Amino acid sequence: MKRISSIVDLENLRESILQKRGSKKTIIRLCLSTGCRAQKSVKVIEALEDEITKQGLQDKVAIKKTGCHGFCEMGPIMVIEPANIFYRQVKPKDVGDIISETVLHGNVVKRLLWKDPQTKELTNTEHDLPVYKKQKKNISYNSGKIDPTDIDDYLAVGGYSALGKALTTMTPAQVVETVVSSGLRGRGGGGFPTGIKWRICSAAPGDIKYIIANGDEGDPGAFMDRSLMEGDPHSIIEGMIIGAFAIGASEGFIYVRKEYPIAIDHLAIAIRQAEKCGLLGNNILSTGFDFTIKIDRGAGAFVCGEETALMISIEGRSGTPRSRPPYPAFEGLWGKPTILNNVETFGNIPKIISKGSDWYSSIGTKKSKGTKIFSLVGKVRNTGLVEVEMGTTLREMIFDIGGGIRKGKRFKAVQTGGPSGGCIPISKIDMPVDYDSLREAGAIMGSGGMIVMDETSCMVDVARYFIHFLLFESCGKCVPCREGLKQMHEILTNICEGRGEKRDIKILTELAHFMTTASLCGLGATAPNPVLSTIRYFRNEYEAHIYDKKCSAGVCKNLFEYVIDEELCNGCTLCKVKCPEQAISGKRKEPHRIDVQKCIKCGICFSLCKREAVRVK
C-alpha cells in the first residue's frame, strides 16, 4: 500500500478506490462477527465461495465479510446488494438457491426472509425491517456494511477524513473545544463529559502523555464494544489519533479483554494497515505529528475495567485500583497525564469532527447528546444490538424494536448498567433513556447492557447473581467492598435458600450505604445498586422469599416445586425417560407425576416438555 503523506494523497486515494468500485457487481454481505460465527456463518461463506467458483461467477459476485448487523437473534445474517435483500438464519444448504434465484434471476427466496411473528408478513429488504426502523445508526453504521479487515472499505465510506480535517485545519485546542461543545459524555459507564476530560489533560503539565481506549467490556450481558471493535476498528483508531492530537499524546493503548479474540485480531490488522499507509507512525499526513498504538490483552479481571486498575495492568502488575485524586488526567499511566475513554466514545469522535458539534448536539436530550448502542438481550424477542437516539423510551426499545417479551410472557424488569446498575420495573417503562433519568431510577447507563426480564426471572436471585459476580471480581484491596460483598452475598444466599430472616432487608440496606460511602473505587461504591434497586421496586419478592418461603419465578430451588399439570400432560413419556433421578412416573398416554422427594429440580423435564405441562408451584 502506498504511503499517504498529505491530505491531497488521502482524497486521491479515496477517489481511486471509489472509481475502482464503480462496477455494478452483486455484493453479498455476510456477518462474521462472534454472534453469527457461533451460528456457523463461516460454513456459509465456504459454501458461497464454492458455489461462486463452481458457477464461474467470480467477476459478477463479490462476498463481503462484515461485522455485526445488530440483529443477532436471526444470525447468520446475509444482505444482498444492490437490492438490499435481507436473509436470516442462512445455512450452507441455502446457498444454491441464493445464487440461482436471487443473484442470477433477482428473485427472493421466501423461506429466508424475515417473518413478522404476529402478522406473518414477510419483509424483503434490510431497511424495511421493523427492528431497524426506530434505530438511528451513527456509530454502528459501518459495522455490517464494510469489511473491517480492509482499510479501503473504511476509506470508501469517508474514513479518516475527520483525521485529515483535524490535523490540517484545526489546532489541538479547537479539537478539544469542538468535543466539549458537542456534549459527548463517556460511554463506558460514568458519563463524564469527554471534552472536559480532554481539556484538563491537555492543560496538564508534562511532555509525555498517553491515550488509552478501554475495550475491556466486562459487564456481563453487554457486547456493543466487542461488535464495534470487530466490525469497525478503524473508527476507534481514527478517534484515538484525533484525541492524541488534541491532548498531545504520542503513544496510545487499546486494552481489550482476551475473551474477544476476533476483536483483538481485527484491531491488530487495522493498526498494521494504518501504519503501512502512514496514518499511524511518524509525521502523520506530513503535519509533524507522531502517534503509535499498541494492543494490550486483558487477562480476565473485571476490575481492570476501572481506569486506575486498567493502567496498572498495562504497567504489568496485578490490577488493583488506587484512590483518586490524583486523577489520571494529571497522573495516569507511568505517572504521566493520561486520557482513558471507552472504545465507543472514540467511535463518536470522527463523526463529531466531520459533521461539527452543532450537528452532534442537536441529537439526544438536553444533557445526554448523540446516540448510544445498547445490547438488548434476555427475555426479549429480537435480541441483539440496537443504536438509538438518547431519550428514546424503554417501551420503544423493548416493545417496538425488541418486539416484546418472548413466548407471550409478561415483562417484569429491565436491568441496565451491568453489576453497577439496577433493575427498572414496568411502572417506569415510559421513561426516556439518558444518563440522568436512569440514575434517578436507581440504575445507570453503564456501558449499555440492557437485560430484559420476565415472570420467570427472580429478582432476589438477580441481586444475588450480581453480588456473587462482584464478590469474585472484587480485588480485595479495601475493606468495605471485600467484606461488604461477602456479607451481602451470605444474606442473599440465605434468603434464596429459604433461611431469610425478618431483619435481612434492613441489614442489606445499611451495608449498601456503608459500601457506597466508603469503598475505594467505583466497583465497590456501585456494587449495592442491584440490591438497592430490587429492594426498592420488588420488595414483595424479597418478602415472599423471607416470610412465605416461596419463589414464584421458579428459580430458587428450595422455594418451589415442579408439578405436572394433568390436564395438559399427554403422557408422551419424554420427561420420564430423561429424568436423571427416576422421579417421574406414569404410563404412556396417561398423565405423569413427579415425586417431590426424589426431584432434584434439575429442570430437564421443565425445559423438555413441549406442552408446557410441567409447572412451577
Partner 1 sequence: MDFQEVDRTLEKYDHKHSAIISILQDVQGIENYLSEETLRYISERLELSLTRIFDIATFYKAFSLVPRGRHTIKACCGTACHLGGAVRNLDQIERILHVKEGETTDDRMFSLETVNCLGACALAPVIVVDDDYYDGVTPGKIEKILSAYRTESER
* Residues engaged in binding partner 1 (CB under 8 A): 34-35, 37-39, 72-73, 75, 217-223, 226, 258-260, 296-297, 299-302, 313-319, 375, 377-379, 383-384, 415, 418, 449, 451, 453, 457, 462, 465-466, 469, 473, 475, 578, 580, 602-604, 607-608
Closest distance of CB 418 from partner 1, Å: 8
Q: Write out 444-497 in H/E/C secondary structure.
A: CCCCCEEEEEECCCCHHHHHHHHHHHHHHHCCCCCHHHHHHHHHHHHHHHHHHC
CB 584 within 8 A of CB 595: yes
Closest distance of CB 259 from partner 1, Å: 6
Q: What distance in Å separates the CA atoms of residue 556 and residue 493, rounded to the nearest whole number?
A: 10
User: Which residues sit opposite 279 in a β-bridge?
Assistant: none
Nearer to partner 1 by C-beta: 114 or 465? 465
Nearer to partner 1 by C-beta: 99 or 471? 471
Strand order in the sheet with 61-66: 61-66, 26-31, 78-81, 85-87
CB 561 within 8 A of CB 599: yes
- C-alpha cell, 471: 464478590
Nearer to partner 1 by C-beta: 51 or 387? 387
Nearer to partner 1 by C-beta: 214 or 365? 214
Nearer to partner 1 by C-beta: 108 or 222? 222
Closest distance of CB 170 from partner 1, Å: 33
Q: What is the DSSP string of 526-547?
A: HTTHHHHHHHHHHHHHHHIIII
Residue bearing cell 445526554:
368
Nearer to partner 1 by C-beta: 157 or 602? 602
Closest distance of CB 278 from partner 1, Å: 24
Burial 597-614 (b: 16+ CB within 10 A, else e): eebebeebbbeebeeebb
Instruction: Give which of 426, 505, 402 is closest to 463, Cα–Cα.
Output: 505
Q: What distance in Å separates the CA atoms of residue 52 and residue 40, rounded to the nearest whole number?
A: 19
Closest distance of CB 200 from partner 1, Å: 26
Nearer to partner 1 by C-beta: 7 or 527? 527
Nearer to partner 1 by C-beta: 172 or 218? 218
Helix-strand-coil percent breakdown of the chain, rounded to 5? 45, 15, 40
Closest distance of CB 410 from partner 1, Å: 15
Instruction: Give which of 440, 462, 447 is closest to 553, Cα–Cα.
Output: 462
Distances in Å between the Cα of 123 and the Cα atoms of 84, 135, 351, 381, 407 are 11, 17, 31, 17, 22
CB 391 within 8 A of CB 431: no
Whether omega before 76 lies within 30 degrees of 0, making that bond cis, reads yes
The SS3 call for residue 83 is coil
User: 449-454 and 371-378 as β-strands: parallel, antiparallel, unpaired?
Assistant: parallel
Nearer to partner 1 by C-beta: 203 or 299? 299
Closest distance of CB 426 from partner 1, Å: 17
Nearer to partner 1 by C-beta: 263 or 390? 263
Q: What distance in Å separates the CA atoms of residue 413 and residue 428, rounded to the nearest whole number?
A: 9
User: Which residues sit opposite 432 in a β-bridge?
Assistant: 393
Nearer to partner 1 by C-beta: 384 or 425? 384
Closest distance of CB 159 from partner 1, Å: 25
The SS3 call for residue 364 is strand
Nearer to partner 1 by C-beta: 34 or 178? 34
The SS3 call for residue 283 is strand
For 290, phi and psi rounded to 5 degrees? -110, 140
Closest distance of CB 207 from partner 1, Å: 20
Residue bearing cell 480492509:
150
Closest distance of CB 10 from partner 1, Å: 33
Closest distance of CB 422 from partner 1, Å: 13
Closest distance of CB 528 from partner 1, Å: 17
Q: What distance in Å separates the CA atoms of residue 374 and residue 227, rounded to the nearest whole number?
A: 11
Contacts of 351 (CB under 8 A, 6+ apart): 138, 139, 162, 360
Nearer to partner 1 by C-beta: 219 or 389? 219
Closest distance of CB 300 from partner 1, Å: 3
Nearer to partner 1 by C-beta: 449 or 524? 449
Closest distance of CB 103 from partner 1, Å: 28
